[in-house]
A and B are shown apart, each in its own frame.
Chain A
Amino acid sequence: MTEGGLARRIRWMGVFILVCFVAVFVQLNNLQVVQAHKYASDPNNPAVAAARDSQPRGAITSVEGTVLAQSVKAPKGSTFAYDRQYPTGPLFGQITGTFSYYHGLFGVEASYNSYLIAHNRPLKSLGDLLTTSTVTDTVILTLSDKLQMAAQQALGGRDGSVVVLDPSTGAVEAMYSNPSYDPGPLASQVAKTVHDAWIADTSTKDAQGHLPFTSLAYQDTAFPGSTFKVVTTTATYEKAPQFVNASMPYYTCIPPKTLGGQTTPLCNYGNGGCGGTIAEMLPPSCDTGYAILGTKVGADNMVAAADAFGFNKQPPLDLPPSPFEVSQFLQPNCYQNAEIFLAFSSIGQFCTRATPLQMAMVAAAVANKGVIMTPHVMDQIRDSGGNLVKTYAPTTWLTAMSPQTASAVNGLMVGVTHNSNGTAAGIFPPSEDVAAKTGTAQVQNAAGQYIATNDWMIAFAPANAPKVAIAVELLDQPVSGTGAEKAGPVMATMIQDVLSAPAAAGH
């Protein structure tokens, strides 16, 4: 070995060390540029907690600009420097969620936390390189506080929900349900206040057994009743068109043992008699005919059609997801392979459970030529200077049916309000051109007695150029109640408010 050999090896050793440091440099880029945002916004990051607790958060406003949540300086001597206020109280509680020092983040406070929280100003100029300052953004929702308040008033304290969608964008324009909760006390710095509110909101049920913290509008399901016939109708057009013009037998009650597994009669509401083709059955909401139609279309076709509307799927709403938001149709834990299950489920009972948000999307699908847009509550995000940071770009979630089917079903739903035998006849002024479907789901107790009804209506208007799709749900109404009677007036108010309002801001 020569001296030159040693010099060469020393050079190679130098190259080796250089390569080591290059690897460090590459990984540093990975950590500090590529993955920086992920680490910097991780809720377990102490800097995130410190920023959360010591700095003001951005505001949340309605589409009109009404402040729904804001940070204000806390009185001297407080543990944390800022208090979070919710001026509208329970009206938007289930949407904004709350910012709790003790229980964490919920609702929009959680899903848009990375914008609301104080974060480093994005680099825009050379000067920003030298001065690091933090900013918060304002989250502007698609929800209108006027419509939200109209929904609250129309429900009149009864347990139930109103969901108002723009069918062409998926924007949620109102989503209110009773019972609701005031996010303010949960955001308090006083432990006792938070504790009491937490008990009241998350584990104290109201008379009908519902928790204020859980939104009936999108976090809980119920039998949708006959409103589900829109899905059954669509399934027939899309999957089994030979039955579109087939005449179903005329029944008052389907006698026991007519359908596989049937032990009791399946009767129409008020024991009326009906049958015939879809066009004859949808406006008067013929239960016996649709029950038999569902069994003819078949379980596989029905499930495929329901899935195409978003059943059995987590809805991609931009609020923190929970498994209770999934609407169900013929889930294995309910459905047993017998015709009677399918018959009842086809008319929105038994193995069919839906959130009002899901049923609003059913109406929206028909209104929007078969396409369901991704539902969303965020409209825009603006920085403190009012500059646009982000706008929600509408995206397609599902295609529920072809435009031809949508047009046909649209016509049938207009029949529900226009035909003299339609279940919603006379509820809406003809000028509004409303297409609707009512639903009355009977609630049984353990002994099989009917003790209450869930009264529903879904609608969109104007039918020839839909601007809005709405679902109204009233839970635990008297046995005598119907969708038309109970949900109808709420729907009429909502549609009138939407159509009479000037075009909503921001659209």
Chain B
Amino acid sequence: MAARRRSLWLRRSSRPRRGPNSRRRTELGLLVFVSLVVAAAYVLASIGTTAKVPPDLGVFLAIVLGLALVAHLGTRRLAPDANPVVLPVTALLNGLGYVMLARLDAHYARLQAGWTAVGILAYVATLVFVRHSRDLDRYRYLLLLAGVALLLLPLVPHLGVNIGGARLWVKVGPATGQPVELAKILLVVFFASYFTEKRELLSLPTLRVGDRLVLDPRPALPIVLAWGFALAVLGAENDVGFAMLIFVLFVGMLWLATGRMMWLGFGVGLFAAGAVAADKLFKHVAQRVTDWLHPWGYNAAHGGYQLVQGMYAFGNGGLIGTGLGYGTALGPDCLHSKIPEVCTDYIFSAFGEEMGLLGTTLLVFAFVLLAGAGMRIAQTARSEFAKMTAAGLTIIIGLQAFFIMAGIIRLLPLTGITLPFMAYGGSSLVANYILVALLVRISDEGAHSIAVGATATRVTAAVPQPAR
């Protein structure tokens, strides 16, 4: 009797490993749906710009479906129990971003298509190489070292290049990339690993001062050093956006690990002090703040120009948008648009103009879905380290999207970071696919552990305990 039940449960829990389980079926359905939506947008944008149905529509749809299928089969083979929403939402963002790029600039679109393929290969490769999240935990300091190296790379003479005042790029041959995009993932993993190990020390008062026990600040020292180093490097590279992102990530993960409001207060205080200091010390930061508060008038001709052009684009779009391909402020290509950086940092404003509030709301909703799925994955993750990693990765993707959107629409001072999956940029795209792959890996583990856990409980209940 007991043995029969046992075999029944075993069979049930092992079935998803072979056949297509329902999560993967959902994912496949969603991916096909997303591919059709993206293809429809591609047709509309083509009609808008050339008044013709794109002649390569079949090829386009085949490539989109093909890429989606590669990612899907990779997930099915390597992480069969993973969350089914993450990949389709990613595909939607990437696909719509590509359609907008194709409408803005054919050259950049071709490059982006290539990078998308690389990104999906990186996604599968990550699932192949990272079979267990604990593997990452093991190489904690190696990853930290790699992260530090990546952060420093743009500062190396002859290798790093200045673009738009920020020394963020590395140029190897014809290819340029932003190493910080990859470094952000390594930093998340390191923070997660370190905080998990030192959690007790960071959260329980162990230091005796007089007759009172207080929090011992010493275990926080290395991490504060690591974080301070990261900020200093980003400061040297003139990258306010990523410095802010890494800072919030650090404080957020410290609070997640310890639950001490003290760390949160400490972080907010430090952030305020840092913001004031940066405003005073760095001219470009002060300029950003001035532009943010007063984009019109004199400033409109200078730093406020980009912000004001963005406002116009959102105003032109209104509720329903001008229609894909009908935006008048967008110009003939990326470099000659009325909106500076419309293909990278400012791509959100192009959606604002051509797809209106309906379109921008769709994008916001997609990021909310992605962040929601990420946090759900974090909650159901197998280990504390995996939980922390998933939460950290979700903070990165959510807040990176938030910072650039909020900057464009004047909720916050503008920080030049890319909108994940949508903006043009190979390193950003590949890094974010790796990030999603890690989320998928953790999700699969979590689902598996729940299944195994459930089996274990049932089995224990069914099998008579041996007498002690």
Interface of A with B (CB < 8 Å)? Answer: 1, 3, 5-7, 9-11, 13-14, 17-18, 20-21, 23-25, 27-29, 31-33, 35-40, 42, 44-47, 50-51, 120, 123, 129, 132
CB-based contact B316/A11 at 8 Å: no
Instruction: Tell which of B308, B311, B387, B398 touches A6, judged by Cβ atoms closer than 8 Å.
Output: B387
Given A10-B387, A21-B402, check contact A129 B357 (CB 8 Å). no
**Nearest Cβ in chain A — how far from B77, in angstroms?**
29
CB-based contact A132/B326 at 8 Å: yes
CB-based contact A45/B316 at 8 Å: yes
**B255, CB-defined interface residue at 8 Å:** yes
CB-based contact B256/A13 at 8 Å: yes
Instruction: Tell which of A7, A24, A39 touches B312, judged by Cβ atoms closer than 8 Å.
Output: A39
Number of A-B pairs whose CB atoms are under 8 Å?
145
Cross-chain pairs A/B with CB under 8 angstroms, 30 sampled: A5-B259, A6-B257, A6-B259, A10-B256, A10-B379, A11-B375, A13-B252, A13-B391, A13-B394, A14-B371, A14-B372, A17-B395, A21-B371, A21-B402, A24-B406, A27-B410, A28-B361, A28-B409, A31-B314, A32-B319, A32-B352, A32-B356, A36-B319, A40-B312, A40-B315, A40-B318, A45-B315, A47-B327, A132-B321, A132-B322
CB-based contact A17/B328 at 8 Å: no
Closest to A9 in B: B256
Interface of B with A (CB < 8 Å)? Answer: 199, 203, 252, 255-259, 300, 308-309, 311-312, 314-323, 326-329, 338, 352-353, 356-357, 360-361, 364, 367-368, 371-372, 375, 378-379, 384, 387-388, 391, 394-395, 398-399, 402, 405-406, 409-411
Could you say which residues of chain A place their CB within 8 Å of the CB of B411? 23-24, 27
Could you say which residues of chain B place their CB within 8 Å of the CB of A42? 312, 315
Could you say which residues of chain A place their CB within 8 Å of the CB of B338? 46
Given A31-B409, A32-B315, A40-B316, check contact A21 B328 (CB 8 Å). no
CB-based contact A32/B375 at 8 Å: no
**Nearest Cβ in chain B — how far from A11, in angstroms?**
7
Bound form: Cα–Cα A29–B308 in Å = 17
Closest to B202 in A: A1
Could you say which residues of chain B place their CB within 8 Å of the CB of A33? 318-319, 357
CB-based contact B402/A17 at 8 Å: yes
Given A32-B356, A51-B328, check contact A10 B378 (CB 8 Å). yes
CB-based contact B399/A20 at 8 Å: yes
Listed residue (B364, B375, B378, B398) with the most chain A CB atoms within 10 angstroms of its CB: B375
18 additional A-B residue pairs with CB within 8 Å, beyond A10-B256, A32-B315, A37-B315: A5-B259, A6-B384, A6-B387, A14-B371, A14-B375, A14-B394, A17-B375, A20-B406, A24-B411, A32-B357, A36-B319, A40-B315, A42-B312, A45-B312, A46-B312, A51-B328, A123-B319, A132-B322
**Nearest Cβ in chain B — how far from A415, in angstroms?**
57
**Nearest Cβ in chain A — how far from B219, in angstroms?**
15
Bound form: Cα–Cα A120–B199 in Å = 58
The 3 closest A-B pairs by CB, nearest first: A39-B315, A14-B375, A47-B328
